[in-house]
Amino acid sequence: MQELGKLATNTPLDKILNGGLDRDAITNVYGPAGSGKTNIGLSASISCPEKVIYIDTEGSFSLERFRQMGGEKKLASIIMLDVHTWDEQHKTVMKLEKIVEKEKIGLIVVDSLVNLYRLELDSANFQQTNRQLATQYSVLSRITRKFKIPVLVTNQVYSRGEEIELTSRMIARYWSKTLVELKKTDKENCRIAIIRKHRSVAEGRKIEFEITEKGLKQVGIFSL
């Protein structure tokens, strides 16, 4: 089997991911609000030498932040897909393969995959919405494997351990070859990233990082 190399996120996560995102797998970064998920999506987008498809479901893509992190030159090669409802998100994911066939894409980011899903669950059919979530994952999984385009999805977790959370976690765990958990710490702006699932890295490998003006920086010299 051919060695594909990795796409660096240009964050300390690269250290615990042996270089970055696998090109034939979904990487799922999850954690509470403010843990750094969007920052990682922005940094990986800036680091990608080719075009990036960026699906923003919560309006959290900030031009100002993107520029702060050195993204000015990269802006022209971001294909930004804003979605506002679960239905829009579903349709957008369903047509991704068509875009990928036409354009030379080096990364797909979905930030986040589940916030509209959660809103939809409140109002609509539980089973159908879960099926749609699994379908979106399966489409992303097919694209990453067929086109060798890394897929980075973020997943906000909530403290309430309810059934909704368990179901979406099960679906996420099934489809994501890599799971990275982000945790906040007592120190302002410091976070910890922990590998929770990976094809070639031990579970539990972790690193501490700081969110700074320019981007994410490792705290200390060694991985924890």
Among 127, 213, 221, 222, interactor with ligand ADP by CB under 6 A: 213
Record the tokens describing residue 33, joined without a space.
């609000």
CB of 35 to ligand ADP, least distance (A): 4
33 binding ligand ADP? (CB under 6 A): yes
Instruction: Give the residue with the Cβ less far from Mg ion, 60 or 138.
Output: 60
Task: Kindly indicate which of the ranges 16-24, 53-61, 95-103, 124-132 contains the residues binding Mg ion, using the contact rule CB under 5 A.
Answer: 53-61
Say how many CA atoms lie within 13 Å of 87 toward its Cβ: 3
Among 6, 34, 134, 165, interactor with ligand ADP by CB under 6 A: 34
Note whether 199 and 178 are within 8 A (CB). yes
* E strand map for the chain: 6-7, 21-22, 26-31, 51-56, 78-82, 105-111, 151-156, 178-184, 190-197, 206-211, 216-218
164 binding ligand ADP? (CB under 6 A): no
189 binding ligand ADP? (CB under 6 A): yes
155 binding Mg ion? (CB under 5 A): no
Record the tokens describing residue 183, joined without a space.
């945790």
12 binding ligand ADP? (CB under 6 A): no
**Cα separations (Å) of 182 from 61, 73, 92, 172, 191?**
19, 28, 27, 15, 7
For the segment 131-150, give every residue that binds ligand ADP (CB under 6 A). Answer: none
Number of residues that bind ligand ADP (CB under 6 A): 15
Task: Kindly indicate which of the ranges 22-30, 55-63, 92-100, 175-183 contains the residues binding Mg ion, using the contact rule CB under 5 A.
Answer: 55-63
Q: Judge residue 147's burial from the number of C-beta atoms within 10 Å of its C-beta, 0-12 exposed, 13-18 middle, 19 or more buried.
A: middle
**Cα separations (Å) of 160 from 72, 112, 165, 174, 221?**
39, 18, 8, 21, 35
For the segment 55-84, give every residue that binds ligand ADP (CB under 6 A). Answer: 60, 65, 68
Residues of this chain that bind Mg ion (CB under 5 A): 37-38, 60
Residues of this chain that bind ligand ADP (CB under 6 A): 31, 33-39, 60, 65, 68, 189, 211-213
